[in-house]
Structures are given as structure tokens and as C-alpha cells.
Amino acid sequence: MKIHHYIFISTVLFVILFYNESIGLNLGILGISYSVFTIIKTPKRNHNKVFLLLFVTSILSSLAFAWFVDFASFLALVLSLLLLSFKAKNKKMKSLFLLPVFVVNVFTFICRVFSFDEWLPKQNTSELWKKIFAFVLIPFIFVAVFFGIYSVGSSHFANIFKDVELDVNLFQIFALGAVGFFIAFNYFNFAVEKFLYKQNCLLSNDFQEKHKTPKPTYSFLDLNTERLSGIISLISLNVLLVFFIITYNYEQFYEIVKTPNQLSEETHERVNAVILSIMMAILVIMFYFKSNFNFDPEAGLLKIFAKVWLLLNVVLIFSAILKNSEYISNYGFTYKRLGVYAFLLLSLIGLTLTFIKIQYRKTNAFLFNSMSWSFYGIILVCSFINWGGVITSQNMKRKDFAVNYHLNSINFSEKQLLKYAEDHNDTSLKNKISERVKEHQSASFLSQILYYKTLN
């Protein structure tokens, strides 16, 4: 099949899946369909390990969305499909170009869609298809658009078909068709601008030969002066960070116990300070090791102090992890407190990748390339786990378990709450949960959330 076949089939499938339906199982089915269409239309030469892995993650994230229908699984599904489509056409381009490529395609959609010669077949087109497209499809689109415009301007004109009863919502079909076509067209027929191809070499993980010769970054500083400046800066930052770690841990673990609100506010402020500190630390390392000092035979001392600073920042991260763990131990799990772990984990990954950059002489682009995949990996893993169930099952062990909070603010906690209601003979809670479950289970097939099919 040609690209236009995939576009029109996907558009029809979109209308069928979402007509008179809410988002649920249907989006998972659409995601799997897009994944299968992509691997079928992609030439075998592009079926490398990354592409095949993305095909698997696209299927898995589609299933995760069909199971939970939450934001994490939706984000994982969108990222998986976009990466799959991107790598199907451009296996050598860095994934960091994913966002600008699809943003540009969204804004250039109108221009590209009317360039029929670029996406519709130029030859071997059957006469029947030409006639249907020219005599039916294009006139229908124009008539439908102008009928809507004229209906707004004249009530009598709008009532022309008032007495015609159709068990079909034509407006909904038209709107779904437009949205489905827009998504399918940008997915299967996206274009990568030439200027982006030219910039791809800038995101290489390894230095080119011309960058391996040590030379000063600035004309007014010689190499020795710049190297010494870096050593003095990193020694100063190491000393400063040591004192910060001492005061940070003293304030966290030895000061007078505060109220829950004060402790919550201070914990988030300190974690934010840690994350900001880590980001600045990585930027400083990127500044000094962007090219020259990676290959300077006399920069051994500079590298040592840089690695010491990275190690001290790791200590800072573990201090924040301990504080967040203590906070959870005292006041229970929430989405935000689990989110703190995710941000700290990303910070730890960033420091590890920075160490690898220094040790193996990688470019700054290596950090961005690797962190983008790390972010995607964490989103993907998060989409497979019922965090609401984890939060509720852990908090149920506490004496101050807040039933109403978990019932109203925590998603997918019904299974754990039903067990809690049975253990405590709470008939009222059991009835509330049962009503909610029945409401979800009574949804039409394509609008189902599969999680609720596992509850009795």
C-alpha cells in the first residue's frame, strides 16, 4: 500500500473507533493499529534494533493506555508512536529533532495537504479512484464547509434538513474525519526540513577530529590560564558544596520537628534547590568540557575535581532521597512525593551520564541525546504501574489512613479500597466503590477502561 492508503484507512478507523464514544480502549486499539501500519510500510533496511524496540514499546504503551487511560500512559503512547514514525523514516537522525519536526509539520499542514502531487500517486491511479476523488470527495468537502457557514447566516437555510431524520450525527462524523485525517497525515506523511538534516551532525555523541586539538576557548585567554581558572573554580565549588551538604543535612535531620505543613513546604523547597543545583552542576561541567579539556593531556587535575564535584552532588541527591523517605514514612505516600523520587532519579542519571561524558570524552550533545531517552524510559515504565494502587495499598497500613482522600483523589485504588472495606466491614464504602465500578463497566466496549473489567 501507498502512503495515501494508510492515511485514508487510518482516518476511517479513527471515525469508527471514536464515533459516539469516549476515550478508552479505542485509543489503545488505534495505537496498536498505527504501530502495525508503521512496521508494515517501513522498508526492511530501516528495521534496526532501535526501531524494533520502539515497535514493541508502542504496542505495550497502547495496551497500558487501554488498561489505565491516564496521563502517564497517554504520554508514553504518544511519545512511542512519534519516535516509531520518526525512526521509520530517519534512522540516523537524533531523537531530539522529534519535537521540532512534528511542530513544524503541524503548522505546515495546510500547505502540505494541498500539495497533492507530493502525497497522492502520480501514476497507475485507477480511473474510478480519480473520479471518486475529483467528482465526489472534493465537492463534498466544499459543500459541507459552506453549508455550515451559510447555516450560521440564515435560520431558514439551516432548517432545510430539519425534518430529515437520520440516526447519524453527520457533524460528529465530519469533525472526527477531519481530526483523524489531520493526525494520520502528519503521522504517515511528515516532512523533515533540509535545515534540520544539516544540523544533525551537531548532535553527534563523539567529537570530530578537528575538535580534538587543545586550544583556548577565548582569544583573550591562553590555554594554561583557562585550565587554571577551571581548577580554581571547581575547587571553590567543591568547598562550597561540602558546606552546603553539611548545613543541608543538619537542617533536615537535626533541627526541631515542625508541623506537617511546614515540613511539606520545606521538603519541596529543598528538593527543588537540590534539582536546580544538579542542573547547574551539569551545565558547569558542560562549559569546561565542551571540547578543549577533553583532549588536553595536562587537564588531569581539572578532571579529578570535576569528578569529585559530581560525587558530592550524588551525596546531595541521596540526602534528598532520605529526607523524602522520612517524610513519606511520617505522612504517607502521595503522587507528588513519588514524583520527587522520579525527579531525583533523573538527576542521578544526569550526573552518571556527565561522569561518562568526562571519562569517555563525549560531546555535550551526548548528554541531551541520552537524557531524552532516559526521560522517555521513565515515562514508559511509569505508564505500566498502577501508582494509585501502590499509594493506597501502602497507606492502608497506617493508622491515620484517609479513606475519602484515596476514594476521591487517588486513581485506580478501587481494588485496594474494596479489600479495606471488607476488612473493616464498611458497607457504605463498599457500596460507593461498587457503584463507581459498575458505572465504568457499563460503558460501551470501545470506551471501556480495562482495569475496571478485572474488578467484581
Q: What is the mean pLDDT of residues 307-323?
A: 91
Q: Where are the domains of the chain?
A: 3-199, 210-362, 388-454
Which residues does residue 362 pair with via DSSP β-bridges, in sequence order? 206
Residue of 5, 25, 276 whose CA lies nearest to 125: 5
Whole-angstrom Cα distance, residue 191 to residue 196?
10
Identity of the amino acid at 182? F
Identity of the amino acid at 204? S
Does the pLDDT value for residue 179 go beyond 80?
yes
Model pLDDT for residues 115-168, shown as the tens digit of each residue: 877 777 665 556 767 677 777 777 877 777 777 777 777 776 667 666 555 567
Instruction: Read off the C-alpha cell for 138.
Output: 472534493
Containing 412, the helix (H) or strand (E) segment is none
421 within 8 A of 392, measured Cβ to Cβ: no
Whole-angstrom Cα distance, residue 452 to residue 443?
10
Kindly report the pTM of this predicted structure: 0.86
pLDDT category, 217, cuts 50, 70, 90? low
CA angle 89/130/187 to nearest 5° reads 20
Cβ-count burial 312-337 (b if 16+ within 10 Å, e if not): bbbebbebbbebbeebbeebbbbeeb
Distance of CA 3 to the CA centre of its chain: 26
* Virtual torsion, Cα 335, 340, 343, 345, nearest 10 deg: -110
Instruction: Read off the C-alpha cell for 97.
Output: 529533532
pLDDT category, 38, cuts 50, 70, 90? very high
pLDDT category, 413, cuts 50, 70, 90? very high
Residue of 224, 234, 368, 361 whose CA lies nearest to 291: 361
Distance of CA 414 to the CA centre of its chain: 27
Whole-angstrom Cα distance, residue 380 to residue 330?
30
Structure letter (DSSP) for residue 385: S
In three-state secondary structure terms, 206 is strand
User: Higher confidence at residue 10 or residue 206?
Assistant: 10
Does the pLDDT value for residue 312 go beyond 80?
yes
Model pLDDT for residues 367-398, shown as the tens digit of each residue: 999 999 999 999 999 999 999 999 999 999 99
**Roughly what angle, to the nearest 10 degrees, separates helices 49-68 and 71-89?**
160
Whole-angstrom Cα distance, residue 65 to residue 54?
16
CB atoms within 10 A of CB 16: 15
Instruction: Read off the C-alpha cell for 246.
Output: 553539611
Whole-angstrom Cα distance, residue 70 to residue 163?
41
Whole-angstrom Cα distance, residue 44 to residue 355?
37
301 within 8 A of 231, measured Cβ to Cβ: yes
Per-residue model confidence (pLDDT) at position 356:
94
CB atoms within 10 A of CB 44: 5
